[in-house]
């Protein structure tokens, strides 16, 4: 296992809990994105909210009363209008716990299976199979770079062990907000095909 010591991010500290295909997925977002979602459904705050914590609290209270906002938040992450559960502002100790999770080596079988899945579903107009070609395992074998030219940034994938002893897949930022966990969900690495499906689902919530 490997651990990493990093400073705590200041952005994307609002965690949206979602459920799709039986998986509970935690997707991080920021206050500006929430304010835009609130505006789209006509629920923008009357007063100026000056902190991410205030925005999270307002959005949480609004979502409890607004089916339109719940559908909007689900659609933004999952591509469907069902699946939103709750919002939560991540405190420093919660972020530190996420970032302190020891990482696990990524099986080569998983990398190969994910490449095969991407070759099946990603067909650019020019016929170039960029998705499989640009996946790259780091030298230590603990991070898979999910390079994607079309979305313009390079997220990473890690498998970690939580403080509770559970295995999760973490999709995290490598550029604008270094090491920020953008999405995470529980994963079973004893079944590679199921693990690929789970990891792909978590990844697509960030696109």
Place of tokens 């469907």: 80
Q: How far apart are CA 108 and CA 111, in angstroms?
A: 5
d(CA 52, CA 58): 10
pLDDT band, residue 11 (cuts 50/70/90): confident
Cα–Cα distances (Å) from 27 to 2, 87, 122, 204, in that order, read 24, 10, 23, 11
pTM given for the model: 0.89
DSSP 46: S
What is the per-residue pLDDT across 174-189, written as a single tens digit (0 to 9) for each? Answer: 765 556 899 999 999 9
How many whole angstroms separate alpha carbon 62 and alpha carbon 43?
Answer: 8
Q: Are 147 and 176 in contact (CB under 8 A)?
A: no
Question: Where are the domains positioned within the chain?
Answer: 14-90, 99-204
Tokens read off for 30: 């920021």
Share of the chain above pLDDT 70, in %: 84
Buried b (16+ CB within 10 A) or exposed e, 79-111: eeeebbbebebbeeeebeebbebebbebeeebb
pLDDT, greater one: 46 or 83: 83
Give the integer Cα–Cα distance in Å for 90 and 20.
Answer: 22
- pLDDT tens profile 127-178: 444 456 678 899 999 999 986 554 555 689 999 999 999 999 999 877 655 5
Nearest-angstrom CA–CA distance, 205 and 48: 29
Q: How far apart are CA 185 and CA 92, in angstroms?
A: 20
């Amino acid at each position: 296992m490997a651990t990493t010591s990093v400073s705590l991010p200041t952005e994307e500290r609002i965690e949206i809990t979602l459920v799709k295909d039986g998986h509970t997925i935690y997707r991080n977002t920021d206050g500006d994105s929430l304010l835009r979602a609130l505006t789209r459904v006509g629920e923008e705050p009357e007063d100026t909210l000056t902190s991410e914590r205030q925005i999270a609290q307002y959005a949480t209270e609004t979502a409890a009363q607004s089916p339109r906002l719940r559908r909007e938040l689900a659609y933004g992450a999952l591509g469907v209008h069902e699946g939103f559960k709750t919002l939560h502002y991540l405190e420093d100790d919660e972020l530190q716990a996420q970032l302190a999770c020891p990482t696990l080596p990524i099986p080569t079988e998983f990398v190969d299976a994910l490449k095969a899945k991407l070759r099946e579903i990603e067909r650019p107009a020019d016929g170039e199979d960029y998705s499989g070609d640009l996946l790259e395992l780091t030298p230590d074998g603990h991070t898979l770079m999910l390079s994607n030219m079309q979305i313009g940034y390079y997220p990473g994938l890690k498998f970690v062990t939580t403080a509770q002893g559970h295995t999760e897949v973490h999709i995290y930022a490598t550029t604008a907000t270094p090491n920020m966990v953008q999405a995470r969900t529980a994963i079973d690495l004893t079944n590679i095909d199921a693990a690929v499906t789970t990891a792909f689902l978590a990844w697509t919530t960030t696109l």
